[in-house]
Amino acid sequence: MVRPLQLRVIGSRDIFQFFVPSKSTLFESLEFHLIHPWDSELPFSNQSREGLISIIVNPDEYGKEMARSVNGDVWLWFLKPLATTGKAIREVAPNLWEAERQAVERRRAFLAAAELNKSSIVIVPDEASFDYCHQQDLRVILSPPPVSDAATLLKSSDPVMLATWINKEPSSYTRLFVEGLPALVQRFEGDLMMKTNSTWPSHLIITHDSPGKSLPYEAAIFFRAGATLVTGPLWPRWGLEAGLDYLEYSTPEELRRIVHHLVRYPKSTQLMARRGAQKSVLFNATGVYQRILAQVGTGG
């Protein structure tokens, strides 16, 4: 007999609520908990439920105690890689390279200290991270991030609104790119955007906080929303193609050229946005969970 499954997602940012499917026949119950890394108490630390799956998004933000305190099956979902990806900049920007290397080492140190049980799995975004976890004898799965169908409802009220999404305290690397952009490019600070549903942009600039390649979760959300994405190098791309499904920049000068073009011809990327949205079905939350559950065998 197949046991009913329940899904609980724990994340440090409001946007991680999109990890929860808007509706799903896979799970009997769905819930999202916004837990900040500095929160000392968990509202569910003593709860134990049959068939409960708890996803901790970016678990290294919390420390090893989080994984130990959550009951049931625990999925540690890393959105950032566990292997360095910016080797090409080692010679030209050694400080940026070192910052990325240290961030990867912190994530690896978290895994080494987490003391995972047999029901825990690690989910990573790229093959190099998968290979690393496999070498450490961890139960690991390679997967794109899940995005709820609710993201497809995030439509702009203005077909020519340009915006950039940055953290409240952007890194020095981020500032290299956003400084000097035209004043008409609106700035949204992190998850404040989640509270302004009437002002979703038609064109969104995603800034990376380091030179290492990754696929920011914001990018996955806005692919599903059908917006025009302008972003730094994405990896992995999951079938998405730069120049066809989104616009990719490598330098601050290149970003400024792209933005100036969009200011003059904002409707020139409508077909590109539609292509990106069509391909982003790979991020559909229900489909992502179906594929993982088939590999894990949970519920059998």
Predicted TM-score (pTM) of the model is 0.92
Same structural domain, 13 and 55: yes
* Tally of CA atoms within 13 A in the half-sphere of 197 that contains its CB: 5
Instruction: Output the pLDDT for position 195.
Output: 61
Q: pLDDT digits over 211-269, tens only?
A: 777 899 999 999 999 999 999 999 999 999 999 999 999 999 999 999 999 999 999 99
φ, ψ dihedrals at 52, nearest 5°? -85, 130
Instruction: Output the pLDDT for position 91.
Output: 60
Same structural domain, 85 and 135: yes
The pLDDT of residue 1 is above 60? no
Would you say 30 and 5 are in contact if contact means Cβ atoms under 8 Å apart?
no
What is the number of domains present in the chain? 2
The pLDDT of residue 149 is above 90? yes
Same structural domain, 165 and 261: yes
Instruction: Output the pLDDT for position 209.
Output: 82
Same structural domain, 121 and 227: no
Same structural domain, 109 and 198: no
User: Among the listed ranges 122-126, 196-200, 287-291, which one has the minimum average pLDDT value?
Assistant: 196-200
Instruction: Output the pLDDT for position 300.
Output: 41
Give the mean pLDDT of 193-204: 72
Q: pLDDT digits over 47-63, tens only?
A: 667 889 999 999 999 98
Same structural domain, 175 and 108: no
Instruction: Output the pLDDT for position 216.
Output: 93
Q: pLDDT digits over 69-107, tens only?
A: 887 789 999 999 998 865 656 665 677 778 888 889 999
Residue ranges making up the domain that contains 241: 150-281
Comparing 70 with 129, the larger pLDDT belongs to 129
Same structural domain, 14 and 132: yes
CATH number (domain holding residue 181)? 3.40.50.2000
Same structural domain, 28 and 177: no
Per residue, the 3-state secondary structure of the chain, as one string, reads CCCCCEEEEEECCHHHHHHCCCCCCCCCEEEEEECCCCCCCCCCCCCCCCCEEEEEECHHHCCHHHHHHCCCEEEEECCCCCCCCCHHHCCCCHHHHHHHHHHHHHHHHHHHHCCCCCCCEEEECCHHHHHHHHHCCCCEEECCCCECHHHHHCCCCCCCCEEEEECCCCCHHHHHHHCCCCCCCEEEEHHHHHHCHHHCCCEEEECCCCCCCCCCHHHHHHHHHCCEEEECCCCCCCCCCECCCEEECCCHHHHHHHHHHHHHCHHHHHHHHHHHHHHHHHHEHHHHHHHHHHHHCCCC
Give the mean pLDDT of 10-16: 93
Same structural domain, 265 and 292: no
With bands split at pLDDT 50, 70 and 90, how would you rate the model's confidence at 110?
very high
1, part of any domain: no
Same structural domain, 238 and 290: no
Q: Which pair of structure tokens corresponds to residue 242?
A: 């730069």
Instruction: Output the pLDDT for position 87.
Output: 62
Instruction: Output the pLDDT for position 170.
Output: 84
Q: Please state at what angle helix 270-279 crosses helix 217-225, rounded to 10 degrees.
A: 110
Would you say 77 and 70 are in contact if contact means Cβ atoms under 8 Å apart?
no
